[in-house]
């Protein structure tokens, strides 16, 4: 999909449609949607810098009790900035940027997070345990 503000909503809807038959509880589905939206936004904004000719790809795989969603941008050769955990007090005091919640939210929504990169692509894998014993 195009790297265009608002297209994260399209990614969320596509994922929701694709996994609709998996009987995922609404609370876990909400976590999945939040993580997909944040990962897609990050890919479009930070990875592709909202360049329309640089698409973000979202792929979904299920295997037994696991759901993996891969969000890939075209920024493989760009360095990944150092992640600073958000500090609400510092943000309110103006000591930390009000931005920077995306990765923090993703990390707290998923069961596992993996990051891959090659010379052309940067991929974030969001892993959710969806088997009955994990719901």
Answer yes or no: is 2 within a domain: no
Element (H, E) at 12: helix 7-18
Computed over every residue of the chain, the mean pLDDT equals 89
Q: What is the pLDDT of residues 119-134, one digit of tens each?
A: 999 999 999 999 765 5
Identify whether 73 is part of a domain: yes
Q: What percent of the chain has pLDDT over 90?
A: 71
Please determine, for residue 68, whether its predicted confidence score (pLDDT) is greater than 90. Answer: yes
Q: Is residue 88 part of a domain?
A: yes
| Type and span of the H or E element at 123 | strand 122-129
**How many folded domains does the chain comprise?**
1
Q: CA 118, CA 89: separation in Å to the nearest integer? A: 37
Report whether pLDDT(35) > 60. yes
Q: Is the pLDDT of residue 72 over 90?
A: yes
- Would you say residue 96 lies in a domain? yes
pLDDT of residue 91: 60
Q: Is residue 1 part of a domain?
A: no
| CATH number of the domain to which 81 belongs | 3.30.565.10
Give me the domain span that covers residue 113: 7-134
């Amino acid at each position: 999909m195009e790297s265009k503000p608002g297209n994260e909503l399209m990614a969320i809807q596509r994922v929701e449609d694709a996994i609709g038959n998996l009987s995922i509880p609404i609370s876990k589905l909400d976590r999945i949607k939040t993580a997909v939206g944040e990962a897609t936004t990050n890919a479009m904004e930070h990875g592709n810098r909202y360049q329309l000719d640089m698409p973000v790809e979202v792929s979904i795989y299920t295997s037994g009790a696991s759901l993996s969603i891969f969000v890939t941008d075209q920024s493989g050769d760009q360095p990944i900035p150092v992640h600073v955990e958000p500090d609400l007090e510092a943000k309110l005091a103006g000591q930390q940027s009000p931005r920077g919640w995306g990765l923090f939210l993703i990390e707290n929504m998923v069961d596992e997070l993996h990051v891959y990169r090659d010379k052309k692509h940067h991929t974030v894998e969001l892993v959710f345990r969806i088997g009955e014993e994990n719901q």
